[in-house]
Amino acid sequence: MAKAATPRKSDRIRLRDRLDQRMANNPRRRKQHPTDWAIKGELFMNCSCTVFCPCVVSLGKHPPTEGHCYTWMAIAIDEGHFEGESLSGLNIGLIVEIPGLMAEGDWKVAAYIDEKATQKGYNGLLQILSGAAGGTTGLFTYLVSEIIGAERAPVEIVRDGNRRSLVVGRYIQGEIEMLTGKSPDHPVMISNSKYWMGPDVIAARGLRSKVRDYGRVWDFEGKSAEICAIDWSGPGR
């Protein structure tokens, strides 16, 4: 059952103040306002695909194995800034729901921003994740149709050897493990791709993976997972 609508934090975006609106013929739809920003770190995720996500090699033009893509994502920022404000050391958790082909959009997204972020850092990360800041994530202005929520939260990320984990309270609890290649020192991966996250994507699988928030109740244990180094930035870098 979906939770009551009462916000958990003052930072949760009210429905009438959502960053995004339905895109078609809507004068209030999100637009890009190019900004100086950069993020380096790692993104990892676990989704509903039963085998390695076909979106990586098809660049979102092949259907997910289940016809839709439900996923949680984690972003660990090793170095970053937004208009001079440091983002280094911050973590982000995301819930993403895509109804069909990734490239056809209509994504619905919920964001959990590290509670250690300053107010400017928090606002900046929402601008980056909504696509409004332009640059690498600018495509989100037309792929994401609805941001169903955004809030500060304790976002715990652990990167230990061939395993990665994300915990956002009781809302996301996920752990993934890299697939072992012929050489135990080199995981199975797709290299030199044009995928939006980054060119080198490591194949992984879900070990434990539960999402319980915004009316979404998902379990991706044993399903497709990915790990990717990211180097994103605003326009003009």
Q: Identify the residue whose tokens are 């003052």.
A: 10
HSE value, Cβ hemisphere, 13 Å, CA-based, for 227: 23
Tell me: the pLDDT tens digits for 221-237?
Answer: 999 999 999 999 998 55
Give the separation between CA 47 and CA 202, rounded to whole angstroms.
Answer: 14
Stretch 54-63: mean pLDDT: 68
For range 169-193, the mean pLDDT: 90
Decide if pLDDT at 169 tops 90.
yes
pTM over 0.85: no
Where are any strands of DSSP class E within 8-121? Answer: 37-47, 69-82, 85-86, 91-98, 107-114
Is residue 28 a part of any domain in this protein? no
Q: Residue 26's pLDDT is what?
A: 46
Alpha-carbon distances, residue 159 vs 76, 99, 174 (angstroms): 9, 30, 12
State the average pLDDT over residues 31-59: 84
Q: Does 31 reside within a domain?
A: no
- Asked whether residue 12 carries a pLDDT value surpassing 60, the answer given is no
Number of domains within the chain: 1
Mean pLDDT computed over every residue of the chain: 85
pLDDT at 100: 86
pLDDT at position 227, please?
A: 95
Helices (H), the chain: 55-58, 119-130, 140-143
How is residue 104 written in tokens? Answer: 């056809």
- Residue 74 domain-assigned? yes
Length of the chain: 237
Q: Is 58 domain-assigned?
A: yes
pLDDT of residue 181: 87
- Write the pLDDT tens digit of every residue in 120-160: 999 999 999 999 999 999 888 888 989 999 999 999 999 99
Residue 9 resides in a domain? no
Domain assignment of residue 202, yes or no: yes
96: domain range?
15-22+36-231
59-96 tens-digit pLDDT: 666 778 888 899 999 999 999 999 999 999 999 999 99
